[in-house]
């Protein structure tokens, strides 16, 4: 048993190291690419813009549906997690594991899409949205993603808020116990974030880098919370952890 546990622990750490390497490589690639030429954002957004028509896909029913549905989904998910947490904490003999899981999920939602995305960055970074900049018929200046600006006062472009809700789904993916299925779940959550981000880009609401950094920052934060609150307590899958009864 000890030999099997040791092998499992080593495999777990290898998986964590590989995931961290992929994350670091993605963060570095995005930062280097946009650091070399921030105008990549303009080039991507220009694909969905026509002079006189503006961002011509912004009024499409599917784009409007996604934009309106995401806030409702965020509230539904949040209230569902809160209800499950209250049930676990208030019920006599409630599951300690469920308490840990719901605390982790609620913190991930509040600190990721909530505090980090919508308070610290969107309300203080000052980056104008695509439809607001001069290149697309607005009156404000385009600024690089990682440079704080004064082109917007609140609910600004960096980072993307709607996609952060979809990227939050990675919090559930981290809880999947089987490593191959966990990787598929993580990939699906990231794909969902990118899909919502694509909608926001074609609507002229966000630049591509707003979406990419939204994913990178939220996924990174949620991974830290998972490691601290869930994986080490048996709620998810940490290296060499046995599932509790």
Q: What is the pLDDT of residues 69-105, one digit of tens each?
A: 999 999 999 999 999 999 988 887 667 888 899 999 9
The CB density around residue 215, as the number of other CB atoms within 10 Å, is 25
Phi first, then psi, for residue 49 (nearest 5°) are -125, 135
- 170-195: per-residue pLDDT in tens? 999 999 999 999 999 999 999 999 99
Delimit the domains of the chain by residue range. Answer: 2-233
pTM of the model: 0.87
Mean pLDDT along residues 45-54: 96
Question: Which of 185, 169, 171, 166 has the alpha carbon at shortest distance from 103?
Answer: 171
CA atoms within 13 A on the CB side of 70: 23
Question: Which of 223, 214, 225 has the alpha carbon at shortest distance from 164?
Answer: 214
**pLDDT of 203:** 98
CATH of domain 2-233: 1.20.144
Mean pLDDT along residues 147-165: 97
Count, residues in the chain: 245
């Amino acid at each position: 048993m000890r030999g099997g546990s040791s092998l499992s622990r080593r495999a777990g750490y290898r998986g964590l190291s590989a995931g961290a390497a992929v994350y670091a490589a993605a963060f570095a690639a995005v930062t280097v690419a946009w650091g070399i030429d921030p105008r990549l954002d303009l080039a991507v957004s220009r694909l969905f813009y026509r002079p006189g028509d503006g961002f011509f896909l912004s009024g499409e029913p599917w784009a409007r549906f996604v934009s309106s549905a995401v806030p409702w989904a965020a509230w539904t998910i949040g209230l569902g997690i809160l209800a499950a947490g209250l049930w676990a904490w208030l019920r006599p003999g409630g599951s300690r594991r469920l308490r840990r899981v719901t605390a982790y999920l609620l913190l991930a939602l509040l600190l990721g899409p909530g505090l980090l995305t919508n308070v610290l960055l969107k309300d203080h970074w000052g980056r104008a949205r695509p439809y607001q900049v001069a290149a697309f018929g607005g009156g404000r200046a385009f600024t690089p993603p990682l440079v704080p600006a004064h082109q917007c006062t609140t609910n600004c472009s960096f980072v993307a808020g709607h996609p952060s809700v979809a990227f939050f789904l990675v919090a559930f993916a981290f809880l999947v116990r089987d490593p191959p299925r966990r990787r598929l779940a993580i990939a699906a959550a990231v794909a969902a974030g990118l899909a919502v981000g694509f909608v926001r880009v074609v609507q002229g609401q966000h630049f591509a880098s707003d979406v990419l950094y939204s994913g990178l920052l939220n996924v990174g934060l949620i991974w830290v919370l998972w490691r601290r609150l869930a994986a080490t307590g048996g709620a998810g899958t940490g290296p060499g952890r046995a599932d509790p009864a």
